[in-house]
């Protein structure tokens, strides 16, 4: 049974048109992460929520925002997508932020920009 | 500056033989190292991890070795199976840095029948 679910699996949007990607989890984990992965590159952390506490990575563009309305759901909002934002977006969760606990990933949303 | 590097983008191995995937890192503050496996169109799946206080961790066909002095770790898969064909990511984290993973670029393993 899928424990970290990302919708949609594929998303196409127009240049400059806002888009929202969603992630839900059934693990009741405290931490939720968003990664961006471009072709043949390592996943790059954008930000994470520890419970309701939002933590942005220093080099994440302002164009990227996130919301976590409750424990189960987390959203990635791209306000004005550019061609360079086409990528796979991965959501992950972990029980806590210490102890080397592995992160559990969803299957990702592949975003295309027209 | 890439803190975690996987210098081999691909590796081809015969079924039944050993697969050895390598990973190097530069940050001596990393406390844990993890390996993830990724099939096409799926998210990464956690495979095995090792704490920096250990030099070996084994789980079935998978063994991870850590050489702290060389800042090097490796994943051994014995025996390799065609179903092991996937991209393998090495990742590392600092315990005091919020469990944030730093990933290597991945190695594509192909196990030939």
Supply angle C-alpha A88, B21, A91, rounded to 5: 25
- Average pLDDT, stretch B80-103? 90
Among B31, B37, B44, B48, the residue to mutate for chain A (most A Cβ within 10 A): B44
Within 8 A of A55 by CB-CB distance, chain B residues are 98
| Dist. CA A72–CA A7, nearest whole Å | 14
Among A55, A102, A106, A109, the residue to mutate for chain B (most B Cβ within 10 A): A102
pLDDT at A98: 75
Give tens-digit pLDDT for B59-69. 999 999 999 99
| Dist. CA A25–CA B65, nearest whole Å | 32
pLDDT at B2: 81
Confidence of residue A2 (pLDDT cuts 50, 70, 90): low
Task: Name the one residue in this structure whose structure tokens are 């606990």.
Answer: A101
Give tens-digit pLDDT for B32-60. 999 999 998 889 999 999 999 999 999 99
**CA-CA distances (angstroms) from residue A72 to A22, A29, A92, A102, B87?**
11, 8, 12, 18, 29
Give tens-digit pLDDT for A81-99. 999 999 999 999 999 877 7
Query: Å from B41 to nearest chain A CA?
Result: 7
pLDDT at A100: 76
**CA-CA distances (angstroms) from residue B44 to A67, A104, B29, B57, B90?**
23, 8, 24, 20, 11
- For chain B, the average pLDDT equals 94
Contact A90 B104 (CB under 8 A): no
Q: Which residue has the higher pLDDT, B97 or A24?
A: A24
Query: Å from B90 to nearest chain A CA?
Result: 9
């Amino acid at each position: 049974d899928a424990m970290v679910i990302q919708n949609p699996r594929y998303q196409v949007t127009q240049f400059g048109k806002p888009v929202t990607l969603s992630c839900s989890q059934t693990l009741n984990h405290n931490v939720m992460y968003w990664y961006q992965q471009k072709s043949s590159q390592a996943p790059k952390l954008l930000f994470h929520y520890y419970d309701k506490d939002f933590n942005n990575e220093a080099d994440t563009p302002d164009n990227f925002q996130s919301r976590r309305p409750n424990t189960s759901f987390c959203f990635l909002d791209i306000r004005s997508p550019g061609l360079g934002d086409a990528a796979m977006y991965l959501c992950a969760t972990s029980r806590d932020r210490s102890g080397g606990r592995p992160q559990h990933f969803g299957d990702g949303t592949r975003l295309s920009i027209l | 500056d890439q803190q975690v590097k996987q210098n081999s983008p691909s590796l081809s191995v015969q079924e039944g033989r050993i697969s050895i995937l390598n990973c190097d890192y530069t940050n001596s503050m990393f406390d844990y190292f993890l390996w993830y496996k990724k099939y096409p169109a799926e998210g990464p799946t956690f495979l095995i991890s090792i704490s920096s206080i250990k030099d070996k961790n084994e789980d079935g066909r998978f063994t991870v070795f850590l050489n702290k002095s060389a800042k090097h770790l490796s994943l051994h898969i014995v025996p390799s199976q065609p179903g092991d064909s996937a991209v393998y990511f090495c990742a590392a984290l600092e315990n005091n840095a919020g469990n944030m993973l730093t990933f290597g670029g991945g190695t594509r393993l192909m196990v030939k029948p």
